[in-house]
Amino acid sequence: MVAFAWIPFLLACVSPLSSVAAPLEGLTTTASFKGTPVFPPINYGLLCELPILQGICTRVAAKGSSGIQVTTPIGTAQGVADGSGANRFAVKYASATRWAASTVATKWAFPTGATNASGLPLACPQPSVDPSTYTEDCLSMILYVPTSLKANSDVPTLLWIHGGSFIAGSATAPGLDGSKLAIATNSIVAVMQYRLGALGFMAPSGATNLAVKDTITAMNFLAKVVPSFGGSAKKITLAGQSSGANMIRALLATPSASSLFQSAILQSDPINYGFLNASTQTALQSSYNTLTGCAATDKACQAALSLDAILDAQVTLGDNAPSIDASTGSAEPIRPVRDGSLITTPLDLTAAFPSVNKPILLSNVKNEAGPTIFGMFTGVLAPSVFGPVCEASLGDDRTATIQASPFYNTTNVADTRIPLEALGTDWVWRCPTWSLARSWVGHGGKAFVGLYVTGATYPANNGIAFCLESGSVCHQDDIEIVFGTVPNPTPAQAALTTEMQARYKAFLTTGNPNVAGLSPWTAATTTDVHAHQLGGTPTPSGEVPVGACDPSFWGAAVDYDYQVFGI
């Protein structure tokens, strides 16, 4: 979840030889007479490496103690059937020593903490959770593969990158079971983890964007293994929510990663914040090194740090970041850095926009700021509070323009939290997303923009009364809709899940979310993003009113934060 800077997720190949291939996978067998071996032990798994048998062993569904098995270029993948029509494979996709770049796994292995195919990965280290739930050796992912897939199916892969403000979250977070999404889209769904917080972004040596590089490593891993499961190495689409979408935007700004994926889906990206610039990162890094007591070159000191010490220093850095450099804000002070070598462009209104060609799908929810405003201010706010809050957050000049506009009127409003929530949603999420869409289209790409007006309350929002109200769709409330994991969905939620999974299936395949039988979703242009309403009672045009996201207001009359700070 993102908080404001300002207030404080196989069947065997049909072959008559499958009964022969099944016992070859991962078994070591010895012929015997009355219990005495008569031949040397034979490792039948090695036989699958022989060219004559590789066609037999490529895809095997073997039941028993080893569950589902698939031969990959890096060894036998063991998985489990989840009962829904998909098989699940948890795997370590990479390894990395502390504060070093990750490298692609060369052997298929269970995630740390898992002792068999049914085990799930431990999370990456993060504050305020039980240490038994995480491990530093956390570069793992879960693959969800429809049992209907056959060898050489050449289907797409959706790689999901979880949110959590770059300091929290995991591949096993609520709602991220990819089975139903994989089945509905006839794709492989991979849900990955990446190094969080200081371990992913604050290498004492000054090396930047280790977490971003983890996602690149994950894509290289998938390109190597998905053909074994029926996928195409050339049909990888990135998808993610909140900081996961922010990570994808960083990858869109990374020329060296461009060949690794064909399209992208960004849900609720807080684009207003922008990437950090190199000087800001240097200042944060210097402070972090001081907090840990380890010099940039003292590798022995760095290796000896406990995870508790690393996380404690991270929390302190996050608290102090706005006073070190105001451009960090307090919501995501640790985030991707435009370092000029990996991430080479801000992808915003502050610099020349690069030529692009990938199709992207950009979406927001109706009440992105609901958890922040109503989570922080638990009681009704008087109209007089609006101005001071805005001034403390946006400064006098931006506040004056906002108060003079018709978009956030506090006249005759009983609770000022309502216009504050609308302001926060437009400022941090919706309007900068629309600005990105216009720029993307204007420089060669294709973009489709949507807004969820129906959602499903995410577990993290259960304690926020506003998010439980009928009609509210808060930040994260789109996750379970997309994954099809809403518990006891209403007819409206079930219908939207069916629609979005159909649209995602089309987008994964063609780069266009339009599907026969569903209302037309018009692609964005440089002057009109044609934001498609997702759920609810359709407007006559099927589109969402522009409101304050007109290009003459946000990004022009009122600057985004990334414009204010020149990042």
**Residue of 242, 243, 327, 435 with catalytic role:** 242
Residue 563 main-chain phi, psi, to 5 deg: -80, -40
Residue 494 identity (one-letter amino acid): A
Rounded-to-integer distance, Cα 1 and Cα 9, Å? 13
Alpha helices in 457-556 (DSSP H): 465-468, 479-483, 491-510
Q: Are strands 140-146 and 188-192 parallel, antiparallel or unpaired?
A: antiparallel
Structure tokens at 491: 């007819």
Q: Beta strand 188-192 with 155-161: parallel, antiparallel or unpaired?
A: parallel
Which residue has 């990437």 as its token pair?
Answer: 275
Longest alpha-carbon distance in the chain: 93
The residue among 42, 45, 136, 142 whose CA lies nearest residue 91 is: 142
Pairwise CA distance, residues 289 & 462, whole Å: 38
How many other CB atoms are there within 10 angstroms of residue 15's CB atom?
16
CA dist 476 and 457 (Å) reads: 8
Give the Cα separation of 117 and 81 in Å (integer).
10
- Pick the closest to residue 479 from 270, 239, 250 (CA basis): 239
DSSP 139-169: -EEEEEEETT--TT--EEEEEEE--STTTS-
Rg (CA), the chain: 25
Distance, CA of 186 to CA of 180 (rounded, Å): 10
Residue 255 φ then ψ, to 5°: -55, -35
End-to-end CA distance of the chain: 22
Amino acid in the structure at residue 278: A
- CB-CB contact of 180 with 485 (8 Å): yes
Q: Residue 242 catalytic? A: yes
Residues designated as active site: 242
